[in-house]
Amino acid sequence: MADALLRHVVTFGRVLREVGIEVGPGRLQDALRGLDAVDLTSQPDVYFTLRQTLVARRDELDLFDRAFAAWFLRAPVEPAGRGAVPQQPQTRKVASPLSEATLGDEDGDRDPLELGASGHELLREQDFATMTPEEFARARRLIADIARLRPLRRSRRRRPDPRGDRLDLRRLMRRSLATGGDPVERAFRSRKDVPRKLVVLCDVSGSMESYTRALLLFLHSAVGTGRGVEAFAFGTRLSRLTQELATRNPEDAFAKASASVVDWGAGTRIGACLKAFNDEYGRRALSRGAVTVIVSDGWEREDPELVGREMARLARAAYAVVWVNPLKGNPEYQPLAGGMRAALPFVDRFLPGHNLRSLEELAAVLAGIERRHAA
Amino acid sequence: MTFRTIDELEGALREASYLPERGLSTALFLSLALEKPVLLEGEAGVGKTEAAKALARARGARLIRLQCYEGLDVAHAVYEWNYPRQLLHIRAAQEGTVSEEELFGREFLIRRPLLEAIESEEPVVLLIDEIDRADEEFEAFLLEVLSDFQITIPEIGTIRAVRKPSVVLTSNRTRELHDALKRRCLFHWIGHPSIEREIAIVKLRVPGVPERLAEQAARFVRGLRALDLAKPPGVAETIDWAQALAALGQAELDAEVVESTLGSVLKYREDFEAVRDDQLVRLVEEARSGR
What topology does CATH give the domain A196-368? Rossmann fold (3.40.50)
Beta carbons of B231 and A170 less than 8 Å apart: no
Residue A196, number of CB atoms within 10 A of its CB: 19
The percent of chain B in helix, strand and coil, each rounded to the nearest 5, is 55, 15, 35
Select from A52, A181, A313 the Cβ nearest to the Cβ of B188.
Answer: A52
Say yes or no for a CB contact (<8 Å) between A181 and B98: yes
User: What pLDDT is recorded for position A268?
Assistant: 84
Does residue A85 carry a pLDDT above 70? Answer: no
Cβ under 8 Å to A: B residues 1-30 = 5-6, 22-23, 26-27, 29-30
Q: What is the pLDDT of residues A334-372, one digit of tens each?
A: 877 888 889 999 998 888 888 888 887 777 777 766 544
For the segment A59-70, what is each residue's pLDDT rounded down to a tens digit? Answer: 888 889 888 887
Q: Between β-strands A291-295 and A320-324, what pairing exists: parallel, antiparallel or unpaired?
A: parallel
Instruction: Please tell me which residue of chain B has the smallest CA distance to A62.
Output: B189
Report the pLDDT value the prediction gives residue A306, as an integer from 0 to 100. Answer: 92
Integer angstrom CA distances of residue A162 from A172, A187, A190, B68: 12, 6, 9, 28
Give chain A positions within 8 Å (CB) of B172: 284-285
The answer to whether residue B223 scores a pLDDT higher than 60 is yes
Q: B72 and B138 in contact (C-beta within 8 Å)?
A: yes
The whole-angstrom distance between B84's CA and the closest CA on chain A is 10
A350: number of Cβ within 10 Å? 16
Q: Is the pLDDT of residue A110 over 60?
A: no
Q: Do A157 and B103 touch (CB under 8 A)?
A: no
Question: Alpha-carbon distance B238 to B223, whole Å?
Answer: 12
- Checking if the pLDDT of B110 tops 50, the result is yes
Distance from CA of B290 to the nearest CA of A (A): 28
Average pLDDT score over residue span B76-80: 91
Q: What is the residue-averaged pLDDT of chain B?
A: 90
Vertex A337, ends A335 and A343: CA angle to 5°?
A: 70
Question: Considering just the CA atoms, what is the radius of gyration of chain A in Å?
Answer: 26
CA dihedral sign, ordered A311, A315, A318, A320 = positive
How confident is the model at residue A368, as a pLDDT? 67
| Contact assignment for A284 to B34 by CB distance below 8 Å | no
pLDDT at B245: 95
Mean pLDDT of A153-165: 72
Q: What is the pLDDT of residues A252-293, one digit of tens each?
A: 777 777 777 777 656 788 999 999 999 888 877 777 788 899
CB-based contact B71 A157, cutoff 8 Å: yes
**Per-residue pLDDT at B50:** 95
Of B86, B176, B187, the CB nearest to A55: B187
Contact B30 A38 (CB under 8 A): yes
Does the interface predicted TM-score (ipTM) exceed 0.85?
Answer: no
- pLDDT tens column, A4-54: 788 888 888 888 888 888 888 888 889 999 999 998 888 889 999 999 999
Model pLDDT, residue B63 = 97
Give the percent of chain A with pLDDT over 70. Answer: 76
The distance from CA B2 to its chain's CA centroid, rounded to whole angstroms, is 21
For residue A223, what pLDDT is reported?
72
How far is the alpha carbon of B255 from chain A, nearest alpha carbon, in Å? 28
Q: pTM (2 decimals)?
A: 0.68
How much is the pLDDT for A17? 85
CB contact under 8 A, A39 and B23: no
Under an 8 A CB cutoff, do B29 and A37 touch? Answer: yes
The pLDDT of residue B116:
94
* Chain A residues within 8 A of B96 when measuring between CB atoms: 179-181
What is the H or E stretch that residue B75 is in? helix B74-77
Which of the residues A36, A40, A46, A52 would you substitute to probe the B interface, choosing the one with the greatest number of B C-beta atoms within 10 Å? A52
Are B30 and A44 in contact (CB < 8 Å)?
A: no
Query: What residue segments make up the domains of chain A, in order of their start?
Result: 2-72, 156-194, 196-368
Of A44, A288, A313, the CB nearest to B22: A44
Q: Which of B135, B175, B189 minimises the CB distance to A157?
A: B135
Query: pLDDT confidence of A225, banded at 50, 70, 90?
Result: low
Residue A242 has pLDDT above 50, yes or no: yes
List A residues 100-139 in contact with B (Cβ-Cβ < 8 A).
none
Contact between B128 and B142 (Cβ < 8 Å)? yes
The 10s digit of each residue's pLDDT in B279-288 is: 889 999 999 9
Distance between A159 CA and the closest CA of chain B, angstroms: 11
Distance of CA A169 to the CA centre of its chain: 40
Contact B213, A325 (CB under 8 A): no
DSSP B129: E
> Using the beta-carbon criterion (under 8 Å), do B33 and A39 form an inter-chain contact?
no
Q: Note the pLDDT tens digit of each residue in A190-216.
A: 777 777 788 889 888 877 877 877 877
With CB atoms and an 8 Å threshold, state whether A56 touches B270. Answer: no
CB contact under 8 A, B26 and A53: no
pLDDT 10s digits, A296-340: 888 888 888 899 999 998 988 888 899 988 888 888 888 778 888
Q: Which member of B41, B73, B176 has the closest CB to residue A157?
A: B73
d(CA B79, CA B113) in angstroms, rounded, equals 8
* pLDDT on residue B287: 92
Q: Does A25 touch chain B (CB under 8 A)?
A: no
